[in-house]
Chains A and B, each alone.
Chain A
Amino acid sequence: MAGLGDSLLMQQLPSLLVAVPLSFVPLLYFLEKVGVPARGAALAGMGLCLLLSFLPWVEGTELPISASPGGWGGLLGIELLLDGRARLFLPVISAGVFVSALFGTRWSQRWPLSFYTLVFLLFTGANGLLLTNDLFNAFVFVEIAGIATHALVAFRGDGDGLESAFKYLMAAAVGGILILWGIVLVFTATGTLWIPLAAERLADAPPVFVAGAAVLLASGIALKGGLVPMHAWKADGLAGAPSAVAALLSGPILTALFGFGLRILYGLFGGFPVMEGASAVTGGVEGSFGVLGSAGEVRELLRGMVFVVAVSSIVAGHVMALAQSRMKRMLAYSSIAHMGYIVVGVGAGGEAALAAALTHAITHAFMKVGWFFVCGELRRTRGTDRIAAARGAFREAPWLGGAAILFSMSLVGIPPAAGFGSKWVLVLESANAGAWGGAVAIAAGGALALPYYLRIVVRGFEPGRPRAATPVPWDSSESPSCPEPAAELAAELPEGAPPHDTTGALGVRAVAILVCAALILGGFAGYGLLFSEAFSVATELVGSVL
């Protein structure tokens, strides 16, 4: 393996991580023309991308790896930079996409080629967004991912799907405009799109431009992430999407967005300084740095606003989730709350808090993907994602119930599940930093979250089936070849009949993979490794602006 570090493969890895998923877009098309089924080819391609995303973890790899398509460097061309942050998130994105594709949806059986092509476009966008060190290039990837998302959300082709896609379109368009506008301001003020150079030049730029760009970029990213007060679209946008798509959008895509946000915050604006009274855990790094640092009060004001957004996201997300009667909407609101947790960690500013935020982003991605799969399985067997309809489902498929319990434990933060560790550090760090609101909100968040997961689990283990299963809105006349017996099955089955295994074998495999991930992440050894990795990334980020 000695030569691997210097090989062309490693030097050009950032370009490859963008170009390879993209090449599968035409490749799937031509392969299908010669008779290769799209699903198999797509899974093989995603496996390849997953392998590529693990390459930076090979022993002896020197980070960051910088590659420039065209070979002109960041000043003249575009730089793709694979740093510790990207190395940490790349496997999360690839694994999330791979598992989602493995799980698939019954709608993906209808038009497999379109479905997997769109997933690869989304994949390209997520990887590119995470890797690029160029502002406009980032916008291009935001666009690609956004366009693919609309079609995926509406993939069911029914009214719900179209309505969701329209809401998603509106929110994404406004978010995209805000981000683009922030980029325009930075470009006007600095004359460059290369993030490191722009950060340098922003120091001498008029404060109006800096503040304007910061506000626009932050609100654009917050809108895409669905933070309060720009959260209203999110549940509507996910409600009509197929479960696998909702999983894609809540796992890999949010992770990529968070990675991009970190690059903007730390790469462009110099991050938040560590809060006053920072603890011994963080090593007490203090001081004012970055372009907004000339006015410490402005920074503190901004931080205050960040905490308000984070805390209200946590509270509103959990309370709204508690009030939902449909699982997908519930999970979407819960995502809003978890984004709030992550932002608390970012706002607190120390290495430990940031590391906890990174870890939480990763565990949340996996566990939320897992929960959406449970939701997808319930929809498959019950024909609806109403919580009331889950009655008896876990009794019929105990493995599903076990997975649901595991994912819920992690999301709520019950030890020894993975979510516990990151929440624990987040609470400690926000308390140490004096952000009591954040600490209390995170602790209370767990208490709020417990009932709504428990509700589903308890209902799932209740005996009996729901009396009237809502038929699936599925027009069988349009696609007679597609085996989709869920609706008739639910109608035909007499009370107490032996459970039918309607689960696709690949779906089981996908959930099994996630359960393994949950166990590995949840084990203290695995969690310790992940956290120490995240800690070194956080140190790098915070250190880069000193």
Chain B
Amino acid sequence: MRTGWALLFSVALVGCGIVTLIAGVDLDTHGAIFDYAHHSVQHTGAVNVVSAVLFDYRGLDTLGEATGVLATGLVVAVLAPKARTSMLSVRLSLVVLYGVALVLPFVSVLGFAVILFGHVSPGGGFTGGVVLASTAVFFAVVYTVGGQQSYVLPMDTQKRIENAAIAAFLLVGFGGLVTGGAFLANAATGIPLGEPGSLLSAGLIPLLNLVAGMKVGVGLAIVVVCLFSE
């Protein structure tokens, strides 16, 4: 009975989704989408429109989402507070150990690259942060063998990074408020936007990308590691 209702509800929602998609195709909407495409480089200096929207136009949403990740980490830490990491009692095969060791540096570099080049190419703090979190999870899974030695970044350090990241985000916001007349202001603060497409461009966006990357990376790592240790 309950399953039936749940199924009905899900089917109804999916149906609504399909109807929206089909009906929405024909809708003639002159939304803000066009303004972003035409003006974002001039406004923000970021070649990647997605980054411009995420970290400049709708920076508050991004701050909110980053806070959501922090809150999730906190929830998991409250609900699963035990700090022991002894999930694997079997030794993984050498292939796995060496394979991961070979791959990990490249994955980390990829993560940082995705974050640092977020404003000039596809990617950004969130995407790169997830990649970084995956390296932390690799470490936790592969090199924490038999509970003898933990290669997980200490929880305290992780929390410190996470809180520092959100504090940095807020500091950028308050800085914009004082110098640029609006919370999280970017170009209005007078920071040079630079040559669009170069690494040092788009004002404060790279900084916010880096901060969000740290936050998401550490936040997800906290969630996963907390759930492991249960």
Contact = CB atoms under 8 A, between A and B. Distances in A.
B23 A70 contact: no
B182 A70 contact: yes
Given A29-B163, A150-B75, A191 B181 contact: no
Interface string A450-480: 0000000000000000000000000000000
B163 A30 contact: yes
Interface string A101-131: 0000000000100100110010010001000
B64 A70 contact: no
Interface stretch (B114-122, B130-138, B172-180): B172-180
Contact of B188 (A26, A71, A78, A147): A71
Contacts of A71: 176, 180-182, 185, 188
A191 B30 contact: yes
Nearest to A478: B81
B20 A67 contact: no
B32 interface: yes
Q: Which DSSP category, helix, strand, loop or mixed, fits chain B's interface?
A: helix
A19 B170 contact: yes
By size class, the interface of chain A is 35 or more
B64 to A, nearest CB: 4
B163 A69 contact: no
Contacts of B176: 70-71
Given A69-B182, A140-B64, A191-B33, A26 B13 contact: no
Interface stretch (A204-212, A272-280, A311-319): A204-212
A72 interface: yes
Contact of B31 (A141, A181, A191): A191
A147 B71 contact: yes
Nearest to B36: A76
Nearest to B62: A140
B29 interface: yes
A11 B177 CA distance: 10
Contact of B67 (A30, A121, A177, A181): A121
A77 B182 CA distance: 12
A154 interface: yes
B173 A19 contact: yes
Contacts of A194: 32
Interface in A1-42: 8, 11-12, 15-16, 18-19, 22-23, 25-27, 29-30, 33
A144 B71 contact: yes
B32 A154 contact: no
B184 interface: yes
Interface in B63-110: 63-65, 67-68, 70-72, 74-75, 77-79
Contact of B174 (A19, A72, A140, A165): A19
Contacts of A72: 43, 56-57
Given A27-B167, A191-B32, A208 B23 contact: yes
B79 A147 contact: no
Contacts of A381: none
A30 B162 CA distance: 11
B78 A144 contact: no
A189 B64 CA distance: 25
B70 A12 contact: no
Interface in A163-177: 165, 177
A151 interface: yes
Nearest to B57: A77
A25 B215 CA distance: 14
B166 A19 contact: no
Nearest to A80: B60
A539 interface: no
A151 B58 CA distance: 28
A185 interface: yes
A517 interface: no
A148 B71 contact: yes
Given A75-B35, A190-B29, A26 B164 contact: yes
Given A114-B78, A188-B24, A75 B32 contact: yes
A150 to B, nearest CB: 6
A143 interface: yes
A250 interface: no
A414 interface: no
Contacts of A80: 60
A118 B183 CA distance: 23
B146 to A, nearest CB: 27
A13 B79 CA distance: 35
Contact of A206 (B23, B30, B56, B184): B23
B222 to A, nearest CB: 13
Interface string A190-224: 11101000000100011011001000000000000
25 contacts: A15-B173, A19-B183, A22-B63, A22-B166, A23-B170, A25-B67, A26-B164, A72-B43, A78-B61, A111-B78, A118-B78, A128-B64, A140-B60, A140-B64, A147-B71, A147-B72, A151-B78, A151-B79, A188-B24, A189-B29, A190-B29, A191-B29, A191-B30, A191-B33, A194-B32
Interface of A: 8, 11-12, 15-16, 18-19, 22-23, 25-27, 29-30, 33, 67-72, 75-78, 80, 111, 114, 117-118, 121, 124, 128, 136-137, 140-141, 143-144, 147-148, 150-151, 154-155, 157, 162, 165, 177, 181, 184-185, 187-192, 194, 201, 205-206, 208-209, 212
Q: Which 3 pairs from chain A and chain B are nearest by CB? A: A191-B31, A191-B29, A71-B182
